[in-house]
Amino acid sequence: MEGGGVDHLAEERQKSRFDVDEMKIVWAGSRHAFEVSDRVARLVASDPAFRKDNRNLLSRKELFKNTLRKAAYAWKRIMELRLTEEEAAKLRFFIDEPAYTDLHWGMFVPAIKGQGTEEQQQKWLPLAYKMQIIGCYAQTELGHGSNVQGLETTATFDPQTDEFIINSPTLTSSKWWPGGLGKVSTHAVAYARLIVNGQDHGVHGFIVQLRSLDDHMPLPGITVGDIGMKFGSGAYNTMDNGVLRFDHVRIPRNQMLMRVLQVTREGKVVQSDVPRQLIYGTMVYVRQTIVSDASSALSRAVCIATRYSAVRRQFGSQKGGPETQVIDYKTQQSRLFPLLASAYAFRFVGEWLKWLYTDVTQRLQANDFSTLPEAHACTAGLKSLTTSATADAIEECRKLCGGHGYLTSSGLPELFAVYIPACTYEGDNTVLLLQVARFLMKTVSQLGSGKQPVGSTAYMSRAEHLMQCRCSAQRVEDWLKPDVVLEAFEARALRMSVACAQNLSKFSNPEEGFAELSADLAEAAIAHCQLIVVSKFVEKLQQDIPGQGVKQQLQTLCFVYSLHLLHKHQGDFLSTGCITPKQASLANEQLRSLYSQVRPNAIALVDAFNYTDHYLGSVLGRYDGNVYPTLYEDAWKDPLNDSVVPDGYHEYLRPVLKQQLRNARL
Ligand SMILES: CCCCCCCCCCCCCCCCCCCCCC(=O)SCCNC(=O)CCNC(=O)[C@H](O)C(C)(C)COP(=O)(O)OP(=O)(O)OC[C@H]1O[C@@H](n2cnc3c(N)ncnc32)[C@H](O)[C@@H]1OP(=O)(O)O
Ligand SMILES: Cc1cc2nc3c(=O)[nH]c(=O)nc-3n(C[C@H](O)[C@H](O)[C@H](O)COP(=O)(O)OP(=O)(O)OC[C@H]3O[C@@H](n4cnc5c(N)ncnc54)[C@H](O)[C@@H]3O)c2cc1C
């Protein structure tokens, strides 16, 4: 995307055998999406106000103030340029700095939209849209995050005054972690146990004002602050994750979000026909966005590692010629290319999940709740799968870049530090896999009852065949048949689920059995989620994809993704009898040959992400590959090099050296 200067990767770019510009459109999702993304990326990159290369040198206070400045400036630009919602979201993406606005737009607004009544939406959303109030999502407490039903904050109805009294009865009931809470939010959607007439009706959301809109001071009864520094320098420390305690804070009755359950003036609790699980709806929405974000973070790391692997040379000089580019080592390819393929795979499964979410939202509006369990299982499972894979991949990319990958200027340490909490927030990844496993066990238990599995579990309707089928691959080329690959993944996923179900049936207490078998259940859930990703990649290839060679590249990547999983999880495929050892070795042979096909196209395949050097934030990942001079110059910019002799020399170094000298003379 960058222009000018010598292009050290030009030769690599000439090697590619497909139309990169068309691939950029496939990656973006549409020509329109590409144009918006490209325009906004350039806008951010060319504006010095969005500079980010100094983040890790700032103290926490400076860093946070700087984030406030950027967010305010971004908001001003959104207004001035009259950006659409799509453009504003892209602006946020390319600014590339976690901020309170993520929680305001990403959770506070969706919580009111999903759980508020029409009337509540009309009252609160205009204020939130104009940012006249700023909100956060205050669910997690010091004592409970995963176990939402275990939250301790109470909201007790007072019929005398028509108010709820929000209270934190214990230390562990303190809200702990919500982003944007610590220093910024004026309001929160706070989750608390609803108590009416002494009866506990479970956890619900309440809109609570936290700070004065005049001077930003906490309101009476509210104790609020930041929870402290987090992993890494810079990174997620731009966010004010907060602590919050309520001391009998009163709010009007109509500030309980009442789409699922209403409390009347008389203190009657009325359940609407909307399922209770809708209280968890905001989490379903955000999990879906996190899957798309995974492909962004992964592609960014892969872009850096791929470009650098083509620039870096080590060993193998023949007759004084150049040494080998490290990207030509088969070991480098077998570590890097599956990650490149995963970035594309997650992109397409993210697109599909977005469609699924839009579909379920439309159904919910029409009071059709039938696909909610499927949406929950898919968002939970794919969030878990893609974030775990991406976090591991960023670290792998750092190692692929050797020593220089450990430098902050490689961009990888900060990316890693910002990204890894995605494995925990919005649901711990293991806890979420167990949700998928529950869904799978339910589906398996209904097989043969006449109820046909649909959606992502539709393959289970062919249980009889999948339980006993034998893989037909006999030659290396057979592993390039989508049906052969898909059937192997389907059979493996089903057989692992059925094995768990059979083992579960041996327990008289199902919950005890579930706990005992939870490690196996999580593995069955992973197998099911990997099948979803593979099948959505295969489906993508059935679309009409224009551009010379584009579809062929995607086919290659699809098989790299699938066959590397098959290789990595050989144990599952073999122990369930889905493939034979001979077939596993044929698949691996095919995978090796696919790596050779990816090799000449690797640079073009990462160029297709269309990332600016500003967004990548990496000396190693520069578009022009001019790595060494930039690394060298950057080192001298470190504040430690401001003076030749370091501060502290006279106090701490010189006396030591002098002492050694004196000792030597004695
Ligand atoms: C600059 C200007 C810019 C301008 C514009 C720019 C725009 C900017 C836009 C920016 C955008 C950025 C995006 C945001 C960024 C993200 C940041 C990250 C923040 C992170 C936030 C968080 O971190 S926030 C807290 C998340 N905290 C959890 O994630 C708790 C996990 N813990 C549970 O989620 C439950 O607690 C757990 C385990 C299910 C047990 O639930 P439980 O106790 O009720 O027990 P059960 O397991 O029995 O479940 C009972 C039945 O409910 C069913 N079910 C369960 N969940 C369900 C569900 N969600 N939907 C449907 N159904 C569900 C289940 O399937 C059962 O169904 P059945 O009965 O039919 O079997
Ligand atoms: C950066 C960041 C931002 C956040 N932002 C917000 C926010 O804006 N709003 C908000 O409300 N919250 C927020 N959170 C909180 C987050 O959602 C929780 O931390 C998360 O849901 C995990 O819950 P926990 O901390 O209770 O983990 P725990 O559940 O205590 O997990 C600890 C360990 O126990 C295991 N475990 C727990 N339960 C089970 C089980 N049933 N079976 C097997 N293993 C289990 C887990 O796998 C994990 O290994 C944020 C967290 C982070 C790190």
Q: Is the beta carbon of 407 within 6 A of some atom in ligand 1?
A: no
What pLDDT is attached to residue 537? 98
**Cα(360)–Cα(382) distance, integer angstroms:** 16
As a whole-number percent, the residues of the chain with pLDDT over 90 amount to 94
Q: Is the beta carbon of 102 within 6 A of some atom in ligand 1?
A: yes
Position 664 in a domain: no
Position 124 in a domain: yes
**Cα(44)–Cα(614) distance, integer angstroms:** 8
As a whole-number percent, the residues of the chain with pLDDT over 70 amount to 99
Pocket test residue of 97, 185, 277, 439 for ligand 1, highest count of atoms within 8 A of CB: 277
Position 221 in a domain: yes
Instruction: Quote the distance between the C-alpha of residue 407 and its chain's center.
Output: 24
pLDDT confidence bin for 398, thresholds 50/70/90: very high
Ligand closest to 145 (CA) is 2
- Given a cut of 70, whether residue 51 has pLDDT beyond it is yes
**Mean pLDDT within 95-112:** 98
What is the 3-state secondary structure of 197-258?
Answer: CCEEEEEEEEEEECECCCCCCECCCEEEEECCCCCCCCHHHHCCCEEEEECCEEEEHHHECC
**Mean pLDDT within 51-62:** 93
What is the separation, in whole angstroms, between the first and last Cα of the chain? Answer: 65
Task: Look up the CATH number of the domain holding residue 186.
Answer: 2.40.110.10
Q: Is the pTM of this model over 0.90?
A: yes
Position 113 in a domain: yes
Q: How many CA atoms lie less than 13 Å away from 19 in the CB half-sphere?
A: 11
Q: Give the distance (Å) from ligand 2 centre to CA of residue 232.
A: 19
**Cα(382)–Cα(355) distance, integer angstroms:** 14
DSSP for residue 448: T
253-268 core/surface letters (b: 16 or more CB in 10 A; e: else): bbbbbbbbbebeeeee
Nearest to 390 by CA among 427, 443, 342: 342
Position 209 in a domain: yes
Phi, psi values for residue 271, rounded to 5°: -85, 125
Count of CB atoms situated within 10 Å of the CB of 277: 13
**Cα(652)–Cα(642) distance, integer angstroms:** 19
What pLDDT is attached to residue 3? 57
What pLDDT is attached to residue 56? 87
Binding pocket residue ranges, ligand 2, CB within 6 Å? 103, 137-140, 144-146, 177-179, 236, 241, 421, 424-428, 430-431, 434, 518
**Mean pLDDT within 293-298:** 98
426 has catalytic annotation: yes
- Given a cut of 90, whether residue 377 has pLDDT beyond it is yes
Q: Is 140 annotated to bind ligand?
A: yes
Helical pair 518-541 and 330-365, crossing angle rounded to 10 deg: 90
What pLDDT is attached to residue 7? 87
**Which three-class secondary structure state does DSSP give residue 661?**
helix
What pLDDT is attached to residue 5? 73
Report the chain's C-alpha Rg in angstroms. 27
Instruction: Quote the distance between the C-alpha of residue 136 and its chain's center.
Output: 19
- ipTM comes to 0.97
What pLDDT is attached to residue 365? 85
Q: What is the mean pLDDT of the chain?
A: 96
| Residue nearest ligand 1's atom 46 by CA | 435
Looking at residue 269, its amino acid is: V
Per-residue pLDDT tens for 543-599? Answer: 999 999 999 999 999 999 999 999 999 999 999 999 999 999 999 999 999 999 999
**Which three-class secondary structure state does DSSP give residue 566?**
helix
What pLDDT is attached to residue 2? 67
Contacts of 585 (CB under 8 A, 6+ apart): none
Count of CB atoms situated within 10 Å of the CB of 411: 25
Instruction: List the domain range (segments joined by +) for residue 238.
Output: 105-274
Q: Is 179 annotated to bind ligand?
A: yes
Position 248 in a domain: yes
Ligand 2 atom nearest to CA at 136: 8
pLDDT confidence bin for 663, thresholds 50/70/90: confident
- For residues 377 and 528, the answer to whether their CB atoms sit within 8 Å is no
Contacts of 107 (CB under 8 A, 6+ apart): 136, 137, 189, 282, 286
What pLDDT is attached to residue 4? 62
Per-residue pLDDT tens for 300-350? Answer: 999 999 999 999 999 998 988 999 999 999 999 999 999 999 999 999 999
Nearest to 494 by CA among 519, 448, 522, 531: 531
Structure tokens at 141: 């407490």
- Given a cut of 90, whether residue 467 has pLDDT beyond it is yes
What pLDDT is attached to residue 6? 84
- Given a cut of 80, whether residue 516 has pLDDT beyond it is yes
Q: Which residue has the tokens 């918006």?
A: 36
**Mean pLDDT within 413-434:** 98
- For residues 98 and 106, the answer to whether their CB atoms sit within 8 Å is no
Cα–Cα distances in angstroms (integers) from residue 540 to residues 26, 387, 455, 555, in the given order: 10, 21, 16, 10
**Which three-class secondary structure state does DSSP give residue 522?**
helix
Among the options 12, 152, 163, 426, which is catalytic? 426
**Cα(534)–Cα(541) distance, integer angstroms:** 11
**Cα(436)–Cα(455) distance, integer angstroms:** 14
Position 417 in a domain: no
Ligand 1 atom nearest to CA at 88: 5
Q: Which residue has the tokens 């190693």?
A: 620
Ligand closest to 428 (CA) is 2
Nearest to 510 by CA among 426, 588, 442, 429: 442
Position 279 in a domain: no
Q: Give the distance (Å) from ligand 2 centre to CA of residue 427.
A: 6
Q: Is the beta carbon of 418 within 6 A of some atom in ligand 1?
A: no
Q: Is the beta carbon of 77 within 6 A of some atom in ligand 1?
A: no
What pLDDT is attached to residue 662? 81
Q: How many CA atoms lie less than 13 Å away from 347 in the CB half-sphere?
A: 26
**Which three-class secondary structure state does DSSP give residue 318?**
coil
Q: How many CA atoms lie less than 13 Å away from 590 in the CB half-sphere?
A: 27
Q: Is the Cα torsion angle 28, 32, 33, 36 positive or negative in sign?
A: positive
> Structural domain tally of the chain?
1
pLDDT confidence bin for 450, thresholds 50/70/90: confident
What pLDDT is attached to residue 666? 67
What pLDDT is attached to residue 448? 85
Strands 135-138 and 187-196: parallel
